[in-house]
Every structure is written in C-alpha cells, then in structure tokens.
C-alpha cells in the first residue's frame, strides 16, 4: 500500500505508522520485522520470487548456527542480519528506534518517513485454548500460524507512549489510510497504544480503510482465520464493525460488491474498487482510489 502511495504522493508528504508488536530480541539482536519488511520493499530490495526476505540474500551465518545446534527456526539472512546488528548497536549507543529507522531508510535511499508506533516495549501475545502463551514470531513463523488461538493481547501496550511524531502525523495528515493489513495483529497493536485511537477518532472523516478480505479470505496470512477464532464475522461487515469508530470509509473489492450494503449499515461509506495489489501498477491505482475516496 505504501509503495502504491509513494507512486502518487511526494515522499516528503508520506508517513507510515508501523506496528512493533511483532518485534523480538533473538540472539541478543533487536529485530523489527514490520519496519524492515516495509523498508526493504520501498527500497526495492524485497525478494519477489520467495515473497519474503531480501533479494540476493545469502544464509552463511544461519547455516553455521544450525551446524552449531543453535536456534535457527527464525531465518535471518546475512544481509538482513546486518540491519539487526546496526539497530542493536545504535540502540545500545542511545539512539531511538525512530532515529534508527530514519537512518536505515536514508541509507537505502527511501525518502518517506516510517514511524514506529512506540519506542516502548509492546509485544503481541497469543493465547491458545489450552492456555499456552506464544509470542508473535513463535505463532507466525515457528508454528506457521496453524494453531488455534483463543485470544490476542498486546503486552506492554497500556504503558506504551506514542513514538515521536506519531500523534502529530495523524493530526496533520490530509488523509489517513488504514492498510489492508491483518486487523487483529497488525492494525490492532497500533490502536492499542494509548492516544492513537483517540487521535484517529478525531480525524474519522479523513480516515479511509482498505479491507484485507476478498470473498471472506485474506490474500496473505491468517487475518480471516484469526478474525473467526476471535469471534468476529469474517466479512467486510466484520471489518467495518472493527473500524467504524475511527474510519469513515471502507474500500472493498469489486468481487465483494454485494457487501456494500452491510458496510453502509455500519455507518461507513463504502467504495468498491479493485483492491488486489498484484503489481506496482495496481498498487498505484488503489492508492489513487484511496486518495479520492
């Protein structure tokens, strides 16, 4: 979504507020999967063949770590590791995650701003029906999000403060876009930081959300499954009921045109367009729709 927006909006007018609930410390390294994935993607470094990781990545360190019997279920490529070494060193030297994120973007030649929603500790935690507790990456990577979840919580959220510039960005934006990300674990942890939801509510008329569901399915990841397990209708109406309090408009896909009435019943405007971003051109077209909706 941000790549599409960056094709139609000058970089200095664009700002992404990014989830940090997926972050982890592994092998002593601070890893921020969402910030990194977005940075790499905007820099054109994403691996389009695998759909994850960096283009031209190598795996020398992980191969050796695996040979040593170390924890290697969370794959870290050699180039990717450099990002984590950089971030960890800079944090230890007193840099803020916001500053470090800006440094990495600049180093990769990306002009827009990305703001971690908070500098404070915030961890997405899954509870399973048998009471086990899993961190985000255990759920997502170690278990390939294939286990049942009874609840999701955001550890540390209550005490977290919005990161530098986050509330100001929401307050000053001409338009605020909720990306078609997972509402349960990508959007919700952002909303869980005190102050963010309130700021969005006060801008409701200018908030446009893009539904992550098409025909009741997520194109990627477990959004559909998680919504169902956590008791939400797995539909655009379900998305509308989650977003209605802070977003005035929902974009849904052409193939779901019949859901428009349901969305409107939730007191949201509904725009029907092509929401599948399977090429840069379609991302650009969706970005234009989002801005004109």
Residues that bind its own copies (CB under 8 A): 25-30, 58, 60-65, 67-71, 78-79, 81-86, 88-90, 92, 103-104, 107
Q: Which is nearer to its own copies, 10 or 28 (CB)?
A: 28
Q: Which is nearer to its own copies, 89 or 255 (CB)?
A: 89
Nearest residue to 149 (alpha-carbon basis) of 215, 230, 267: 230
Minimum distance of its own copies from residue 118's CB (angstroms)? 20
- Looking at 128-194, which runs of residues are DSSP E strands? 133-135, 151-155, 176-178
Whole-angstrom distance, CA of residue 244 vs CA of residue 205: 11
Q: Which is nearer to its own copies, 64 or 205 (CB)?
A: 64
Q: Which is nearer to its own copies, 5 or 45 (CB)?
A: 45
CA distances from 170 to 14, 89, 101, 165 (A): 11, 30, 19, 9
Q: Which is nearer to its own copies, 8 or 74 (CB)?
A: 74
| The pair of three-digit structure tokens given for residue 8, joined into one six-digit string | 């139609």
Minimum distance of its own copies from residue 65's CB (angstroms)? 4
* Residue 269 three-state SS: strand
Whole-angstrom distance, CA of residue 286 vs CA of residue 1: 8
Minimum distance of its own copies from residue 143's CB (angstroms)? 19
Minimum distance of its own copies from residue 171's CB (angstroms)? 32
Minimum distance of its own copies from residue 192's CB (angstroms)? 26
Residue found by looking up tokens 């700002």 in the block: 15
CA distances from 226 to 122, 126, 234 (A): 20, 10, 9
Minimum distance of its own copies from residue 255's CB (angstroms)? 42
Q: Is 197 exposed, middle or buried (0-12, 13-18, 19+ CB in 10 A)?
A: middle
Q: Which is nearer to its own copies, 82 or 159 (CB)?
A: 82
């Amino acid at each position: 979504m941000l790549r599409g927006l960056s094709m139609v909006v000058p970089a200095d007018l664009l700002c992404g507020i990014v989830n940090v609930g997926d972050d982890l410390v592994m092998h002593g390294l601070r890893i921020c999967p969402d910030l990194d994935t977005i940075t790499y993607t905007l820099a054109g470094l994403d691996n389009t063949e695998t759909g994850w990781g960096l283009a031209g990545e190598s795996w020398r360190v992980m191969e050796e770590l695996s040979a040593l019997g170390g924890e290697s279920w969370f794959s870290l490529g050699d180039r990717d590791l450099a990002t984590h070494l950089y971030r960890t060193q800079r944090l230890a030297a007193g840099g803020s995650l916001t500053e470090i994120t800006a440094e990495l973007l600049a180093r990769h030649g990306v002009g827009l701003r990305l703001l971690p929603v908070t500098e404070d500790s915030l961890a997405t935690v899954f509870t399973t029906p048998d009471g086990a507790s899993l961190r985000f990456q255990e759920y997502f990577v170690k278990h390939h999000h294939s286990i049942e979840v009874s609840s999701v919580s955001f550890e540390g959220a209550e005490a977290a403060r919005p990161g530098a510039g986050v509330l100001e960005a929401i307050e000053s934006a001409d338009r605020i876009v909720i990306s078609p990300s997972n509402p349960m674990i990508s959007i919700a942890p952002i909303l869980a930081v005190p102050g963010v939801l309130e700021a969005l509510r006060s801008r409701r008329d200018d908030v446009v959300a893009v539904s992550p569901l098409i025909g009741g399915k997520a194109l990627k990841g477990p959004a559909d499954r998680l919504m169902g397990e956590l008791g939400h209708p797995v539909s655009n109406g379900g998305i509308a009921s989650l977003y209605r309090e802070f977003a005035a408009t929902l974009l849904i896909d052409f193939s779901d045109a019949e859901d428009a009435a349901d969305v409107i019943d939730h007191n949201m405007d509904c725009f029907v367009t092509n929401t599948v971003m399977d090429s840069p051109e379609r991302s650009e077209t969706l970005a234009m729709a989002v801005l004109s909706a």
